[in-house]
Structure 1
């Protein structure tokens, strides 16, 4: 069983920017990852199997919907706390953080923000505790970066609606108890609906053959004349503002999470370089290896500062989606490069399951793509600074 020797890098003494509560929350999640995730995650990744037992564990830990008020099953915490939680979870594995991000930002957030009191009380406590697992249905087979082109639709049928269509690349789908699905009504207006497992015509086939996020459950959502009660439609939002606001919350978590993966790769490479002897001395003493380590810790430190500032803006209600977009893209890029450099430093050992680096690298290929690709986020920043829309 793998031993987790991780020591968190803090080159710029960023702990000074955190409260004692922030550090207690971070350390609790860090200890959970060391005790429950690191010893098992490689085996589950090799088997391409989702460790379902972690859902209840993470509910008990409080990482599902930590910014949701406590009266609805959340933690009532701030966004720095949320970011630190995601950082530590993805330090363990991107798929583990994905499970938490989807549950909190893409399922609990829209129900809390756009649902009514009855919907909040029905769904949120069970999602927050991990009794129920949720998923988020936006991406379609032919509409990824352009979600507004979605074909999934519903028609009025009295006290219910009839939902048809399909979503794909959906994290948590195979085991989800509910799905927050975005679909167009007969006028072409996008609405959110809560679809429950067991509704006739609703199925969630598993996506097989992944080389990335292998310990995460990914699947499709298929709707074949599904009868959804009108009481399950989120009443307080319409149009693309609904799903896009959810993505902003989730992208924030990704920005922090990816730096957790980068920190793990840096720590692994640093320890290995000090222990690995070639030409009669540790490879950490060679210039090219020091260059890699110096660049890694520099970019990680810059990303930590960016993430912290975005979290402060979120706490103050001042953040813009474009600012979160920048943090998501930057985090992915920094982490991806850290993985590549660490893998080279580990040589042949870097491709084995004895170390976490190659698993992180494969996972990040998905993280770079989902919830806005690297290129899409560049265009979001470009549009924000120029005022000109390059999308159409």
Structure 2
């Protein structure tokens, strides 16, 4: 049986979450917007309980959680939803990085087409963007800074606390794409300087198709977002449509479990990572990126193209050579390119990512298979 090592693309649902989702799909199937009977009341209670659990992960207020379909939608709402406000106050400068997910880069590109200006922060081989760069790039007309917490390709942890310090005396909104960190690396996300946090359920053991945008108030003022879709008053008018109660309940349970089991899960992933590094060194593997999460490794094996490696490992382990959202594209990784890796390293790059539920990895077979192509 193939061992799944592509958890950065999507994690399996945890058993606890699966039970909750099944319950609200099959038994408590009411519409949270139906207020005239107990089925709707039960559904509404499940949604609000989940909202509380999600808020607790980042020490936010329940009312600051807006449910979405996932981090892509949350990113779009956070970035494009500020457009009217930015134009109103005459500030049209954005700061982001060259290693962001396309779900951040492409909405920003849309704003550029409409007359906004963007500064892209660079990185080096570490895959980490320095706070000094951010400080040097801030301007009086900067209205938005959007920097991810953990990179999806390398797992490199960005310096969120340092960015918050840089922005402590600036009015720009700070948006963080936390798709790869929410529920796994929670403490930095509790910094009150973070205005907007994007969450995706299927990255931390919840179902696909559900996520959240956490919109922190400054004092008593909420971020001045405008809806991108229309057709109902759900989610404070920011995200219309019937709420997927089962998915939201699952997201809430995943958030609750992440608080209860964070240390145990972290330790399990760290053990796997240390073993992975040790075994991959037998092939001369070079690790791409520094300060990485315990559940992911991006590496290059000299002389072994990633496509060849994935074919060789087919049926043994499931791995990737980049972001799942761009896996159909054979263009070089924009993340690894931004890090300054040479062409061969980029072409050879493989991402392995696991989770606390990952079973024993057949390293002897992996090493033997790959050695055949060296």
Give the TM-score, by structure 1 length: 0.26
The structure, 1 or 2, with the larger RCO (C-alpha pairs under 8 Å, 6+ apart) is: 2
Structure whose residues are more often helix by fraction: 1
Give the TM-score, by structure 2 length: 0.27
